[in-house]
Amino acid sequence: MKLNGFNKVLAGAGLVIVMAGCSSKKDNVTVTEPTTVEQDKKSITDTRNLLFNCVKNIKDGQLIQSLINTAGLKNGDFGNEDWLNSITDALDVSFNYFELEEGGRFNYARFAGNYNWDAATKKFIKTAAADITVSFPSSPTGTTNNYVVKMSTYKDGKYQVNMKDVYLPTAVKATCTKDGQTILSLDLAAVFSNGSFPIPQSIVLNLGLMPHNYLIKVNKITNTQFNVVTELQSGSDCVTALNAKVTFANEDYNNLELSEDLQAVEGTISKGDLSLQGSWNAAAYYKLSGHKAEDINGTFALNTFSKEQKIGELKLKNINNHNELVIFYKDQTSEAFNVYTDPFIADLKTMLKPYFGSDIENWFERTAQSNGSFSKKITRLKTRLSEWINK
């Protein structure tokens, strides 16, 4: 597929984007002298290393470590699988079996209540409440229900998609605390248009995955053009923000086909002295009859800057019959971009190996083939999410 030839561009762009956002340089530092190519290379390498530290900071954070410990995740296996399976099965029974209603509606009132795990009966005891609160221990040996998951707000609206009723959330507030400390928070506010399709007018999602907070915003510019903002908000050098504009050919979203209707994507990100500017002519890309590097290069532009200086341009290059992402520096020298990405990926695999095992890429597939019923629940959830996204 042609899209596979573009994956290297997307992956490289993503790494450069986050590296730019994780720049350790402070906004009040002014660089007046032109940089050399060697200085530019060092800057990319330094920010790559900082990116790894940012990811490690997320891995070592309260949320991820809590989930890892609760699951007993080690060498790719769920050590607490039987216990997790019994708790999730018991919650499903207490919910009277969780299902969405017709039109994909989540009936918040139906599931409202306090659900408290009783270790003696191995059941959730439900009491009346206006919101949904689930309390349970964080480990099989836990004696207190120190996890508290609460959805305090849920509102939705009825819309039309392909002449069928669908329900979309318009306001959601939820938290997860452990030992009284919030490790996850979600606050969603969304507005959609009425008519033949619920075109997003405004979506604001504040997501706290401790120790970081994330902000995702979608705003309609026109019925065929949208602005997307994603921010990683933190008091550390991991702060980053991405602004993108997405353009479609028309507003017939009931019959949306990306290969036919996506026109263009352009975006900018900057932090400190580093910035990245990119654009993708999707309409031209999908019209290509092959996947030659020079043809694909004609459909996108991706440049890195240090202040006002252009320090590099990313392009595809055919190397040994494979399209490889290459960075061309301002002195016209170039090298494969994997000199930056390969060490990062290797470090990432090493960091995650104690949890997911050596074959990290195939962890989901291996989990799906295991005999553990909780493992299968995880893979079924992944499959359902993938199917929903690809609808």
pLDDT tens-digit readout, 94-126: 998 888 888 888 999 999 999 999 999 999 999
Name the phi and psi angles at 363, rounded to 5. Answer: -60, -45
- Strands 113-118 and 132-136, bridge-based pairing: parallel
pLDDT tens-digit readout, 293-322: 999 999 999 998 877 788 999 999 999 889
For residues 158 and 160, give the distance between their C-alpha atoms in angstroms, rounded to a whole number: 7
Inter-CA distances, 290 with 6, 58, 285, 297, 367, Å:
12, 40, 10, 12, 36
CA 113 to mean position of chain CA atoms: 30
DSSP code per residue over 279-305: EEEHHHHHT-SS--HHHHHTTEEEEEE
For residues 208 and 226, give the distance between their C-alpha atoms in angstroms, rounded to a whole number: 24
Full-model pTM: 0.83
Sign of the torsion angle spanned by Cα atoms 161, 166, 168, 174 = negative
Confidence tier at 370 by pLDDT (50, 70, 90): low
For residues 309 and 46, give the distance between their C-alpha atoms in angstroms, rounded to a whole number: 18
